[in-house]
Amino acid sequence: MLIISELHYHPPAAFFAALLRADGLVLEARENYRKQTYRNRCLIRTAQGVQPLTVPVVAGNRAEKVRTSDIEIDYRQHWIHRHWRTLQTAYGNSPYFEYYADYLHDIYQQKPVLLFDLNLAFLRLELRCFRLTLPLSFTTAYHAPGPLAPADLLDRRDWLSPKASGAGPDSPAACGLVRPYPQVFGPGFEPGLSILDLLFAQGPAAGSFLG
């Protein structure tokens, strides 16, 4: 089974749980950019609760449609510094932050022009962290979701949303794709967080929490 999905910025852990059952991943490269999605943001847990980290993009609010793969990152805003400081503050004392920090920092410092390239670099790294050697391919034309999709293609575009209530039948919490694990800040388990939360907490054992 192939999975088709948009590219996320540090996707939720449930995304990688879904990939464990896949034979390959098709990345949507021909869609139009959509605001307020995981395409340019992720959710982490801090001492103040769940917090979004958002990558600012150039002209992301303009009226005309722009292909996601053409969206440029806005480096006029010092977002890398803010994201990195937030990650250090939230996870600096977690068991495995230092284990992954240099790899993540190197990608940030490359400062790719396009959001698509940034997300792809992080995805390749995170797949390696789980030893997932899935073939990656990219769409060459946009096809809306519908009943004519190939039987061996599972459409997971916009399956995950930072605006979701968590109560839907396809939500990560409802699917039980991520088993509770000890998080840095508690009490209780907060589902739907970025894969970074799981990696920093569990390191090489992170895969055992993906059901």
Residue 97, H or E segment: helix 97-110
Pairing between β-strand 2-5 and β-strand 24-27 as defined by DSSP bridges? parallel
Q: What is the pLDDT of residues 47-86, one digit of tens each?
A: 999 999 999 999 756 657 899 999 999 999 999 999 999 9
pLDDT of residue 64: 72
Let me know the angle formed at the C-alpha of 111 by 60 and 4, rounded to the nearest 5 degrees: 60
Domain residue limits at 62: 2-209
SS3 content of the chain, % helix, strand, coil (to 5): 35, 15, 50
Global pTM exceeds 0.85: yes
What average pLDDT does the segment 80-105 reach?
A: 97
What is the end-to-end Cα distance of the chain in Å, rounded? 17
Q: What is the pLDDT of residues 123-138, one digit of tens each?
A: 999 999 999 999 999 9
**From the centroid of its chain, how far is CA 35?**
15
* 109 phi, psi to nearest 5 deg: -75, -15
Of 138-142, 147-151, 196-200, least confident by mean pLDDT is 147-151
The total number of structural domains in the chain stands at: 1
Q: What is the pLDDT of residues 14-47, one digit of tens each?
A: 999 999 989 999 999 999 999 899 999 999 999 9
